[in-house]
Structure 1
Amino acid sequence: MSDPFLGEIKMFGGNFAPRGYSLCNGQLMALSQNTALFALLGTVYGGNGVSNFGLPNFQGRAPIHWGQGAGLQNVILGEAAGLEAVTLLTSNIPPHIHSLTVSSAGGTSSTPLANGYLGAAVDKDLNPINLYTTTSTAPVNLNTSVTGGGLPVENRSPYLAVSFIIALMGEFPSRN
């Protein structure tokens, strides 16, 4: 196998970085010991640019190419965005109403009726009675409001965890 390009990122099935590579875990590298790699990465992935610089961090992240595709928002090299879980708010949910029309009249059928209403469900002794009626005495619309528990919802696509490694040694890539 030929030498990798310096800074080349590969997927690797092991839980360690082979010799000449480092895991892409966002760690800071000493600039004085890695000047060629710093020349390629700069501080795009972190660091102060004086004594250190950061390696890319793929922990909990999926790779995406930088730039702007047709109809997509611009993504900047080194940008980290997105969330593993989100909490949906009523402002995130499309407006909708759950309505139910009921009647105060006693039910006359045990099955839904065409052009019918939901009638009284139990008698004064809590015995079940027929639910449905065609009598429309004072129909009432019961509109419910949107509620929720406020718990986060998983936002990740199915995934398989592998290691991402970056070449610390190799051929310096030319631009042409």
Structure 2
Amino acid sequence: MKNILKIAALAAAPAALLSAPTPAAAGTDEYIGELMLVGYNFCPRASAEAAGQLLAISSNTALFSLYGTIYGGDGRTTFALPDLRGRAAIGQGSGPGLPTVPQGSRGGSTSFTLSVAQMPSHNHTGEVRSENAVQADTGNPGGNALARSTLTIYSNNSPPTAAGAMHPGTLFINNNGGGQSVSKRSPYLGMRYCVVTQGIFPSRN
């Protein structure tokens, strides 16, 4: 009877091992320094969130040998992980017709405000009207006002002082628009990037 119980216990052991829950971990098959995108609210064991934090070189020599100070740190006692919070990663280098992006560089913004230098070339027109002027009917300036004719240039029509008069004043072109910034962020979904801190050291060959 004892032998039967021992055999049953041995047979049940592998099944128990397979069904037992294991703690979340980055695993041993990932490369050190590799980035993982996860959908839960923490980074698994053997990894750290890509949040730009400083790590001690003495405790992470393998990872430091790969990252160096590309993402920050003094290179003597500390180095930094990449900070992907609220950022999108793009390939380093320069593609055809594109500006060069050095590895570890940061740039871009989530919004912009147009200035005069960025607006398309355009112009504004204005219109100024004078009062109706009467035709001049005399060449004698005495008691008369200047009218619009270039031949007999004075008028004695009543009231002569209104002939060809211009209203004094200033023409203003008012500003328009609210000057608010414009968002240029594409639709997004917030997730979590993690850096593998323990795993396989990547080989160049």
What is the TM-score with the length of structure 2 in the denominator? 0.62
1:155 deviates by 1.9
User: Could you say what secondary structure the match of 2:116 adopts?
Assistant: coil
User: 2: CA distance between counterparts of 1:44 and 1:145?
Assistant: 50
Tell me if the contact between 1:23 and 1:165 (Cα under 8 Å) persists in the aligned partners.
yes
One-letter amino acid of the structure 2 residue matched with residue 53 of structure 1 = F
User: Could you say what secondary structure the match of 1:15 adopts?
Assistant: coil
Tell me if the contact between 1:17 and 1:165 (Cα under 8 Å) persists in the aligned partners.
yes
User: 2: CA distance between counterparts of 1:81 and 1:65?
Assistant: 13
Tell me if the contact between 2:28 and 2:199 (Cα under 8 Å) persists in the aligned partners.
no
1:94 deviates by 1.2
Is residue 3 of structure 1 aligned with residue 29 of structure 2?
A: yes
One-letter amino acid of the structure 1 residue matched with residue 101 of structure 2 = V
User: 2: CA distance between counterparts of 1:70 and 1:35?
Assistant: 37
> Which runs of structure 2 are paired with 1:65-144 in the superposition (5 Å)?
65-97=91-123, 99=125
Which of these residues, 182, 188, 197, is aligned with residue 153 of structure 1?
A: 182
1:63 deviates by 0.6
1:90 deviates by 1.5
User: 2: CA distance between counterparts of 1:18 and 1:66?
Assistant: 27
Specify every segment of 5 or more residues in structure 2 that has no aligned partner in the other structure, as ranges.
Answer: 1-26, 131-170
* 10 and 143 in structure 1: CA distance in 2 versus 1, 3 angstrom threshold: farther
User: 2: CA distance between counterparts of 1:93 and 1:143?
Assistant: 21
Which piece of structure 1 moves more, 5-14 or 83-92? 83-92
1:97 deviates by 3.1
Moved over 6 A (4+): 100-104
User: 1: CA distance between counterparts of 2:173 and 2:123?
Assistant: 7
User: 1: CA distance between counterparts of 2:103 and 2:172?
Assistant: 49
* 146 and 66 in structure 1: CA distance in 2 versus 1, 3 angstrom threshold: farther
1:98 deviates by 5.2
RMSD, aligned CA: 2.4
Tell me if the contact between 2:34 and 2:196 (Cα under 8 Å) persists in the aligned partners.
yes
Aligned length: 140
Tell me if the contact between 1:4 and 1:170 (Cα under 8 Å) persists in the aligned partners.
yes
Tell me if the contact between 2:36 and 2:195 (Cα under 8 Å) persists in the aligned partners.
yes
Which of these residues, 45, 51, 56, is aligned with residue 19 of structure 1?
A: 45
1:151 deviates by 2.2
Specify every segment of 5 or more residues in structure 1 that has no aligned partner in the other structure, as ranges.
Answer: 105-141
User: Could you say what secondary structure the match of 1:156 adopts?
Assistant: coil
What is the TM-score with the length of structure 1 in the denominator? 0.71
User: Could you say what secondary structure the match of 1:39 adopts?
Assistant: helix
1:89 deviates by 1.1
Which piece of structure 1 moves more, 61-70 or 145-154? 145-154
